[in-house]
């Protein structure tokens, strides 16, 4: 099991501000599972419009947090770092459920595991909790694409 700081995350994912959502990876066990952290702050750019008087972390970005954690897991599993030649592309979202709002001040604990891998297609169920409360769960499907 390995922890990964923000510099390590930047080496593994091609995302950058404002779309790099993960702050820290608590642990990743290649081929098995990952636990990552996202600290929600009031100055996130999307809160200007979602919603200014009651800032709520967008559900679609909750699913993106799961997808980014799963991509970290895939990167560690196959030993690939981010580059101009490699991308992880979302291929599908199954069984997404949102149980409660996430708001500024919350710390998201994102977990994902590999359920199935077929060639370059990965299926990873994941969940997000704040403390003991389940916020979101979804199964993400994505592909590892090597650009030519």
Q: Active-site positions?
A: 50
**Separation CA 113–CA 124 (nearest Å):** 5
72: β partners: none
Residue in the block written with tokens 């636990």: 35
DSSP string, 16-60: -TTS----EEEEEETTTEEEEEEE--TT-GGGGTS-TTS----HH
């Amino acid at each position: 099991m390995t922890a990964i700081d923000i510099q390590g995350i930047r080496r593994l994912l091609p995302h950058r501000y404002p779309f790099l959502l993960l702050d820290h990876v608590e642990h990743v066990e290649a081929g098995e599972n990952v636990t990552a952290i996202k600290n929600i702050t009031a100055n996130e750019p999307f809160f200007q419009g979602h919603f200014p008087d009651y800032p709520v972390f967008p559900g679609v970005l909750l699913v993106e947090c799961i997808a980014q954690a799963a991509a970290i897991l895939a990167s560690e599993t196959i030993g690939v770092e981010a580059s101009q030649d490699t991308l992880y592309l979302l291929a599908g979202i199954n069984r997404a459920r949102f149980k409660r709002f996430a708001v500024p001040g919350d710390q998201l604990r994102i977990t994902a595991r590999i359920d199935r891998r077929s060639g370059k297609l990965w299926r990873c169920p994941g969940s997000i909790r704040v403390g003991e409360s389940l916020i979101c769960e979804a199964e993400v499907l994505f592909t590892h694409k090597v650009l030519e």
